[in-house]
Amino acid sequence: MTEHDPRSRQEDEGIPDLQDSSPERMWSVDPQEQPIPGERPAGVEEFGTTDEEQAQGESLDRRLSREEPEAEYAGSVRETAGRLVEPDEGVHLDTEPDAIAEDVGGDFGGYTAEEDAMRVYRPE
């Protein structure tokens, strides 16, 4: 049985080690080699692949037509969350590694964008 050579063939040719940690590199057999592209074209038929399309710009209607609605949780009722308050009220020492909060109900508005986007999903 032959011993494993820790150097790759690219290092033998003087090519330095790749420093990116892309998922594609992690999936490849040899960490020095990027994987071969897939068999399907990726994005070649999308808008903006030619110079003319890039200069012209994509219309808002066309961009909106590509949007997909957010998938709702199947079999649940969606409701808006009220004001979220941490058990330590945000002023005491927090030893809990997770961010947990209790819905104390609605108040008179003034929600931040993040608070306004919070939703509660309850099983039906």
Q: Is residue 92 part of a domain?
A: yes
pLDDT at 69: 74
pLDDT bin (cut points 50, 70, 90) of residue 60 is very high
Would residue 53 count as lying in a domain?
Answer: no
Residue 46 lies in a domain: no
- Residue 35: pLDDT band (50, 70, 90) is low
| Cα distances (angstroms) measured from residue 74 to each of 30, 91, 121 | 42, 37, 10
Cβ(119)–Cβ(77) under 8 Å? no
| 68 lies in some domain | no
Its pTM stands at 0.31
pLDDT digits 0-9 by tens, 76-113: 555 777 777 777 776 777 777 777 777 777 777 677 78
The residue whose two tokens read 């050579």 is 5
Structural domain count, the chain: 1
**Residue 86 within a domain:** yes
Domain membership of residue 5 (yes or no) is no
Domain around 89: 77-123
The average pLDDT across 13-39 equals: 62
Contacts of 105 (CB under 8 A, 6+ apart): 82, 83
Q: Is the model more confident about 3 or about 44? A: 44
Cα separation of 81 and 58, whole Å?
A: 36
Q: Is residue 26 part of a domain?
A: no
